[in-house]
Structure 1
Amino acid sequence: MSGKPKLHYFNGRGRMEPIRWLLAAAGVEFEECFLETKDDLIKLQKGGSLLFQQVPMVEIDGMKMVQTRAISNYIATKYNLYGKDLKERALIDMYVEGLLDLYELLMTHNFQPADKKEQHLATIVDKATNRYFPVYEKVLRDHGQDFLVGKQLSKGDVLLLETLLMAEECKPDILAKFPLLQSFKARISNIPTIKKFLQPGSQRKPPTQEKDVPKVIKIFH
């Protein structure tokens, strides 16, 4: 049996993408088992692999882990992406939790009906530029280091970079007023493991296209 983590999800971003990012940042190779149909999901559910009947599910270290935050916390702890002590871990959690509202908006943007997309994008831009990005700009300024917390890469940095790149996909100049976030993006993107993940041909998933939405909905509904 392979020792690589095995990721069970559809062939797209969704709630698995932050887990892919963390594993890639840690330099961990992983396998993927894609759900193609509703029957694939039902088979996992009936086989007892999904504790709460939901994916993402990651097979790692003899466990079949579900719940995105539990999985990402385990990976971050295992691969030293969770700070050096309890205080740093608390800060990392705070910064990650603070991003989740914006992350959810970005993740669901392409699933919006055509007549609501423009308003949804306006909401993303408003929340990103007026509520969230100013906070992370201030955190970087106050901390005065290369990373959000401490002096080494953490899951907070990884999720922030992923969120920034998703935001730029929606609006390319969205970081125009945030010089420290621009520098952060360039710096973290150049970390060798992350740089590799950002190259074409990696296991990073592209934005969900409109043509793919019906297939994803069929699997999960």
Structure 2
Amino acid sequence: MAGKPKLHYFNGRGRMESIRWLLAAAGVEFEEKFIETREDWDRIRKDGSLMYQQVPMVEIDGMKLVQTRAIINYIANKHNLYGKDMKERALIDMYVEGVADLNEMTIVFPVHPPGVKETKLSEIKDKAKNRYFPAFEKVLKSHGQDYLVGNKLSKADILLVELLYNVEELDPSAIASFPQLQALKNRISSLPTVKKFLQPGSPRKPYTDKKSVEEPRTRLPCWQQAEQG
């Protein structure tokens, strides 16, 4: 029997958090090996585990997978979270790419200096409320189903709800005008596996504040280069 997936990353959200969400929603227990020192980084880089010398990296089913989207796609395929046919997968991918565009802004937000953060926060709010959230609201409203594609849970629903949580941390009113998104968030959050992940003490990482960014920078000066683009 295959062991638990092992996640190699820094002890924080970053690009690994979407992978944590997807595994948790699928009910998959996983282990984490945090890269906390320069020695940790040199070890994993020199042993040939990282194809592009970047993380996230996930050991799963005898493979060492890198690149966030490749990892997410594998997990989604394995756990039936990727639609029933090519058309559904195309839609799911299209929605996930939109989610990733906005989520990338929330991921890098904490690393911006104070003088830039105000501008970046305004940009996140504007794009969320005027571009991305209206698009997903329209999709859900157009078919009146519980999920984005095929009326069945997919990686698109899970990653969109992760995004909703991330944006709400920056702007609590972010989805106040989007009843379909509110309903989706409540629906996904009520799934037993996701509900467990949202509880204190779960593998879900806390909000990335200034301290949690500065600490790895101090211990591991190359951490931004080590994370994939």
Output the TM-score relative to the length of structure 1: 0.97
1:3 is aligned with what amino acid?
A: G
Q: CA deviation at 1:100?
A: 1.5
What is the aligned-residue RMSD (CA, Å)? 1.2
Structure 2: how far apart are the matches of 1:92 and 1:78?
15
- Counterpart contact for 1:143–1:149, Cα < 8 Å: no
1:24 is aligned with what amino acid?
A: A
Q: CA deviation at 1:214?
A: 1.9
1:52 maps to what in 2? 52
2:26 maps to what in 1? 26
Structure 2: how far apart are the matches of 1:3 and 1:207?
29
1:79 is aligned with what amino acid?
A: H
1:37 maps to what in 2? 37
1:72-128 CA-to-partner distances (Å, cap 9, x unmatched) read: 000000000101111111100000011212101111111110111111110000000
Structure 2: how far apart are the matches of 1:2 and 1:90?
30
Structure 1: how far apart are the matches of 2:58 and 2:210?
27
State the SS of the aligned residue for 1:8.
strand
- Counterpart contact for 2:88–2:150, Cα < 8 Å: yes
Q: Which contiguous aligned blocks of 4+ residues in structure 1 show a shift greater than 6 angstroms?
A: none
2:62 maps to what in 1? 62
**Paired residues, what number?**
221
Output the TM-score relative to the length of structure 2: 0.94
- Counterpart contact for 2:110–2:209, Cα < 8 Å: yes
Instruction: Point out the more displaced range, 73-82 or 111-120.
Output: 111-120
1:202 maps to what in 2? 202
Structure 1: how far apart are the matches of 2:188 and 2:87?
22
- Counterpart contact for 1:141–1:180, Cα < 8 Å: yes
1:11-43 CA-to-partner distances (Å, cap 9, x unmatched) read: 100010000001000000000000101221111
Q: Which runs of 5+ in 1 are unaligned?
A: none
Q: Which runs of 5+ in 2 are unaligned?
A: 225-229
Q: CA deviation at 1:192?
A: 0.9
Q: CA deviation at 1:216?
A: 2.7
Matched, 1:102 2:99: no
2:157 maps to what in 1? 157
2:227 maps to what in 1? none
Q: Percent identity at matched positions?
A: 64
1:185 maps to what in 2? 185
Instruction: Point out the more displaced range, 35-44 or 165-174.
Output: 35-44
- Counterpart contact for 2:12–2:212, Cα < 8 Å: no
1:134 maps to what in 2? 134
Structure 2: how far apart are the matches of 1:216 and 1:140?
39
